[in-house]
Amino acid sequence: MLKHVMYLLACSCLAATFTGCNQLTEQKANQQDKANDSTRPPTPAPTENRATFKLDTTFKDYRFSVSTRGDGTLRNLYVGIGNVKDSTRMDTIIEKDVKGNIGGVAVADLDKDGQPEVYVFNISTGTGLNGKVYGLVVQKKGAIKINTGDIDSLNAKDYQGRDSFYIQNNELVRTYPAFGEGQPQALTTDKRKIIRYQLVKIGNGYTLKSKS
């Protein structure tokens, strides 16, 4: 009788083991079928959400945190503005779909009204390396975006990108290599064009105007 019971238990274990093996085999087969199914849409690559640029700085009573998040070519720009005496609060302005790379950040008071502005200099990717500026005037009631139409619409015949931006003598300065007509784009030259911009208040807004 004991031998008979042991025989039944052994058969039951073998049956359970066989069933488990069959289930594993079927699962592997289903996974392989899904992998080989060319009609299924490809799995999208995960979006990069880490900070690709970050800079913290202060100016008078203000503190600023400038950062970008996103993939290699298209990012969101975050400009945080707070008070140096209160590290628990910071208001953040978001500029979406910024293309290219951040080339620098400057905080200044170009119009000498006692309130700072923050300027973020951006350089596009590719062969052009065209420059763009994102600017904000900081006020007690909030931040106002600066109109940069004069910078964005530059169409001089000697302009082929490769901008540099900096602040000098209460002006925003833009320089770029000036190319003559017929010169190859890869040609390097020591001749640089300089354009100076002043911050001008127009109505309730602000704009960067080039000096003629």
The fourth-level CATH superfamily of domain 52-210 is Periplasmic lysozyme inhibitor of I-type lysozyme (2.40.128.460)
pTM for the model: 0.72
Average pLDDT value for the chain: 79
Q: Where are the beta strands (DSSP E) in the chain?
A: 51-59, 62-70, 74-83, 86-99, 101-108, 117-123, 131-139, 142-145, 164-168, 171-177, 192-202, 205-210
State pLDDT tens for residues 145-199.
999 999 998 888 888 888 999 999 999 999 998 877 666 555 555 688 999 999 9
Q: Where are the alpha helices (DSSP H) in the chain?
A: 2-36, 149-152
Q: Is the pLDDT of residue 113 over 90?
A: yes
